[in-house]
Amino acid sequence: MITPAHAQTFARYNQWQNQSLFEAASRLSAGERQRDQGAFFGSIEATLNHIYWADRIWMHRIAGDPAPRATTIPGSLTETPDWQSLVAARATMDERLIEWAEGLEDAALVGDLKWYSGAVGKEVSRPRTLIIAHLFNHQTHHRGQVHAMLTAAGSKPSQDTDIVFMPGVA
């Protein structure tokens, strides 16, 4: 299902797409980034904060990284205090995901991961490969929402979103 090479490709894809979205979002005013557009998490900035928070919580669970500040999904929407902090934190997290994926070995994909899920209010155990697939799928899902909000706000990202057109993919 998931291999180290797969995780490496998706970590690079994540960075490429985030750079495009953050560039487009940075062209908007703070008010426009924070305006509730009726998306699942409301605004562009809240959704981008949630993606960052989720990456942090999954990296805490799978790689032992520090836990995010927020402990709940509603708290995830304000994980960073302001736009510039989010921009910097996102770039750092993208580098961390690439570093983690490049060091990933087959043995790290074996077995289950057990954690307490605040989302469902109980301890959960799932295969590590499924967790890694979820990490990257979750990013892509919510980035699609951000892309739609950016386009509606008049700041369409400059990069294609298809992984097959990512620079460096053979």
Q: What is the pLDDT of residues 89-134, one digit of tens each?
A: 999 999 999 999 999 999 999 999 999 999 999 999 999 999 999 9
For the chain, domain boundaries: 4-165
Beta-strand runs (E) in 36-146: 112-117, 122-127
**What is the CATH class of 4-165?**
mainly alpha
Residue in 90, 100, 79 with CA at minimum distance from that of residue 19? 90
- Residue 136's pLDDT band, with cuts at 50, 70 and 90, is very high
Q: What is the pLDDT of residues 51-73, one digit of tens each?
A: 999 999 999 999 999 999 999 99
pTM over 0.85: yes
